[in-house]
Chain A
Amino acid sequence: SQKIEQNSEALNIQEGKTATLTCNYTNYSPAYLQWYRQDPGRGPVFLLLIRENEKEKRKERLKVTFDTTLKQSLFHITASQPADSATYLCALDIGRTGFQKLVFGTGTRLLVSP
């Protein structure tokens, strides 16, 4: 069966440290992998997109890696801040061009303590 798995347990880290979140998937062949941030009671907000032929993408304090052989993506937040506390969702953009849809993992809650 098709699955997108993220750590269901919350990740607790101290301010200033690097947070690393994991996304593993099975039986998908995504054209893109995306990461979103979701705050309580709000819709997800797009953070980063990485293509299947890219190994790494960076944006400010964020870094995403994508290993299509392992079927895994790692999402890093460096110099984490309490404001980074949220749920982070991994999503796969699947389907043929023009008919794509986004399938989500269950998300990992990140808590950054001051």
Chain B
Amino acid sequence: EIVLTQSPGTLSLSPGERATLSCRASQSVSSSYLVWYQQRPGQAPRLLIYGASSRATGIPDRFSGSGSGTDFTLTISRLEPEDFAVYYCQQYSTSPALTFGGGTKVEIK
């Protein structure tokens, strides 16, 4: 099973600052199958990035994804108030199909 480890667990930043979130896989992951989601309190997850670096429909360009192999990064260039949330990475492989990272909470400093 591929384990995804997200760091840091919590990121305390101010609006306007840059956020860099890490997702590290225990084995190499196809970039095609690395996905990022945002989850605000009380809401369902929202697709942000797929294929490691492609923004989903309607996602602002302050969100960007990068990485390959075992190391992937989600960057939020300038935090807006609505960006304070929990972020999850997800990967697909043949077995067991899908796993998620434990999440990174981006909180207001």
Q: Indicate, yes or no, whether A interacts with B.
A: no
